[in-house]
Amino acid sequence: MSSPGSRTTVIALLADRGYRLTAPRRQILDVLLASGTPLSAAGIHRRLENRRINLASVYRTIWVLLGLEALRATDAIGGEKRFELADPLGAHHHHLICQDCGRIEDLEGCPLEERVLRAVNRRVRRSRRFRIVEHELRLIGACADCDGAGRRTRARRRP
């Protein structure tokens, strides 16, 4: 038994839906598995063993994995898109985003209590007829590297 983001599950899913397990896909999957943080398409590409794999293939694989719901897209600061393997069913986590260097760290667990979530859900359902499917909490600030010692020189990202 394995969870949505595990290697075997994703590979099984591919086969199951008629997708082929090709060398680029396997390597991209391995990069995602090895990374503890969401990666951009370029970030994935940079980490690939085989540097001859084309960036276009990275994008195409991202699309396939998103379609399988094995991958989750996260909006980094300034509209950059990053991707990480999906959490096990039912679980989810949030992100600490450094506004200086853009680095994203995972925050294990969700600080929003069930009680509060249900209340908000009910409220917007009634007042706006908006149905909440998921939520995302972004904690924005300065990471260990960028904080201390009088603010690094690294440029703050543009919007």
Partner DNA sequence: CCGTAAGCTGCAAAGCGTTTGCAGTATGAG
Partner DNA sequence: CTCATACTGCAAACGCTTTGCAGCTTACGG
Instruction: Name the residues that contact DNA, by CB under 7 A.
Output: 15, 18-25, 40-42, 50, 52-57, 59-64, 79-81, 158-159
- For a copy of itself, the binding residues in 37-76 under the rule CB under 8 A are 62, 66, 73, 75
Which of DNA, a copy of itself, none interacts with 18 (beta carbon under 5 to 8 A by kind)? Answer: DNA
Residue 78 tokens read as 């300034």
The answer to whether 84 and 94 are in contact (CB under 8 A) is no
The interaxial angle of helices 23-34 and 55-67, nearest 10 deg, is: 70
77 — phi, psi (to 5°)? -75, 140
Of 111, 93, 101, the closest CA to residue 36 belongs to 93
- For a copy of itself, the binding residues in 95-154 under the rule CB under 8 A are 96, 98-99, 105, 107, 111-113, 116-117, 119-120, 124, 128-144, 147-148
Of 106, 80, 75, 77, the closest CA to residue 91 belongs to 106
Which of DNA, a copy of itself, none interacts with 6 (beta carbon under 5 to 8 A by kind)? Answer: none
The span from the CA of 159 to the CA of 151, in Å, is 19
Q: How far is the CB of 96 from DNA (least distance, A)?
A: 21
Contact positions vs a copy of itself (CB under 8 A): 62, 66, 73, 75, 77-81, 83, 96, 98-99, 105, 107, 111-113, 116-117, 119-120, 124, 128-144, 147-148, 159
